[in-house]
Amino acid sequence: MDCVRFREDIRDAACSTGIAGLAAEGSADILRASGAAREAFVYGGFHLDCKVFYHDKCFDGACSASVFTRFYRECIKADTNFSYQGLVHRAGALFDDGEFIDGDNAIVDFKYSDSKKVTWWFDHHLSAFLTPEDQAEFERGQADGSETMRKFFDPNYTSCTGLILDVAAKKFGFNVESLAELRYWADIVDGAKYESAKSAVEMAAPAMKLTMVIESTQDESLGKKLIPLLTEMPLQEVLDQPFVQELLGPLMERHQAALKLIGERASMERGVITFDITDHPTEGYNKFIPYYLFPEGVYNVGLSKSSFRTKVAVGTNPWTTLPEEKLANIAEICERYGGGGHARVGAVSFPPDREDEARKAAAEIVEELRSRENA
């Protein structure tokens, strides 16, 4: 089934079920009670806006938002107005129900929300669910078929971008041929599949420079300008945009400063690299710097502080020679402290003023990883 045929089927469903009349009468309970009715209502011409919530300060998050936008426009509803809002992992509530709109709300590359206003969800993180109840709700929707065409989770994917592309192609007939470059780099960046720490830190490829801009800038307007372009032109052309170039120069200088600072602060003991730069607030740094400085390190635990959190970043050296079965599951470790992530990389967020708690958690994680190395 291609995208055009899918849209026609949706319109036919709207006509055959008479949902327009129900909607006019404000029969919200009836619509919620029927998955088929809800589909026809949403895509029968009533919801003209779509708000995409995405993992902010993340290359894969931005790519996921862009892929979803193009897929939705080509396969679901062409005349849709899109807006974007970045989401970050922080202490406390991750979602504000008041931010969701009356149209479609999509969450990509971020945790599950139990809000009834969320109509699309894609994620690939091992720690995708805030609570067991959230996971049970998602699984019920998959089991009874009510959410099988709207909410998708598969932790086996390296990137959420790849997950969205495959789902959109297989289930909706979305043509993904022109997006091979984007998928390739989303997998490289999110899966830490760089050729070497040197290539990751020196950032020769356009995607690497874009990653730095996305992760480090404080320009809140970047997302709405950048996201639509990622699926419309090659990454080099995106990088060449004047609004990106304006940000790139100062960020490259900051990158060199971070490399110097972490080089002065970092140390390694029993395979675990540690550093604390909380006294130099930053909105982000290249997470491969520790392995660039200590290639023999297996794990990295770094403490940093930004405007909205104190962060304990935990990672595994992508180039370690240790066999997979001997490596710690970082997501599971971080989840014990209220954080999460992937099997090889994760983080825990604390409020900015709770550095002592962050240091305590970091120290415990370091000791666990060092003990593992000596086991």
Mean pLDDT of 163-177: 97
Is 70 exceeded by the pLDDT of residue 21? no
Q: What is the pLDDT, as a whole number, of residue 4? A: 57
CA distances from 276 to 30, 80, 273, 293, 311 (A): 55, 46, 11, 15, 10
Per the prediction, the chain carries an average pLDDT of 88
290-306 pLDDT tens trace: 999 999 999 999 999 98
* Rounded CA separation 39/41 (Å): 5
Indicate if the pLDDT at residue 209 is higher than 60.
Answer: yes
Instruction: Give per-residue pLDDT as tens, 261-319.
Output: 999 999 999 999 999 999 999 877 899 999 999 999 999 999 999 888 999 999 999 99
State the Cα angle at 229 between 225 and 231, rounded to 5°.
145
Three-state DSSP class for residue 177: helix
Q: What is the pLDDT of residue 5?
A: 57
Domain borders along the chain are 1-46, 47-191, 262-374
pLDDT score at 263:
97
State the CB neighbour count (10 A cutoff) for residue 157. Answer: 23
Which tokens is 302 given? 């770094």
Task: Determine phi and psi for 50, rounding to 5 degrees.
Answer: -140, 130
| pLDDT, tens digit (0-9, with 9 covering 90-100), for 93-140 | 678 889 999 999 999 999 999 999 999 999 999 989 989 999 999 999
At 372 the pLDDT is 85
CATH topology for 262-374 is Diaminopimelate Epimerase; Chain A, domain 1 (3.10.310)
Residues 342-367: tens digit of each pLDDT: 899 999 999 999 999 999 999 999 99
Comparing 36-45, 202-211, 357-366, the range with the smallest average pLDDT is 36-45
Residue-level pLDDT at 48: 62
DSSP 146: S
**Which tokens is 263 given?**
């080089």
Which candidate, 343, 340, 360, 342, places its Cα nearest to that of 91? 340
pLDDT value of residue 332: 95
pLDDT band with cut points at 50, 70 and 90 for residue 42: very low
41 pLDDT band, cuts 50/70/90, is: very low
pLDDT tens-digit map of 57-77: 999 999 999 999 999 999 999
d(CA 343, CA 120): 25
Q: What is the pLDDT of residue 199?
A: 92
The residue with tokens 């993180």 is 125
Q: Quick one: 44 exposed, middle or buried, by C-beta within 10 A (0-12, 13-18, 19+)?
A: buried
- The predicted pLDDT at position 103 comes to 93
Pick among 3.40.50.450, 3.30.1330.100, 3.90.1640.10, 2.60.40.10: CATH of 47-191? 3.90.1640.10
pLDDT of the residue at 308:
87
Note the pLDDT of residue 360. Answer: 98
Asked if residues 55 and 108 have their Cβ atoms less than 8 Å apart, the reply is yes
pLDDT of residue 216: 85
- Between 91 and 239, the higher pLDDT residue: 239
| Cβ–Cβ under 8 Å, residues 239 and 206 | yes
Q: Which two tokens stand for residue 366?
A: 């370091």
Lookup: tokens for 313:
């970043």
Q: Give the DSSP letter string of 193-218.
A: --S-HHHHHH--SHHHHHHHHHHH--
* CA 363 – CA 340 distance, rounded (Å): 17
pLDDT of 142 > 70? The answer is yes
Task: Supply the angle between the helices 180-190 and 59-71 in degrees, to the nearest 10.
Answer: 150
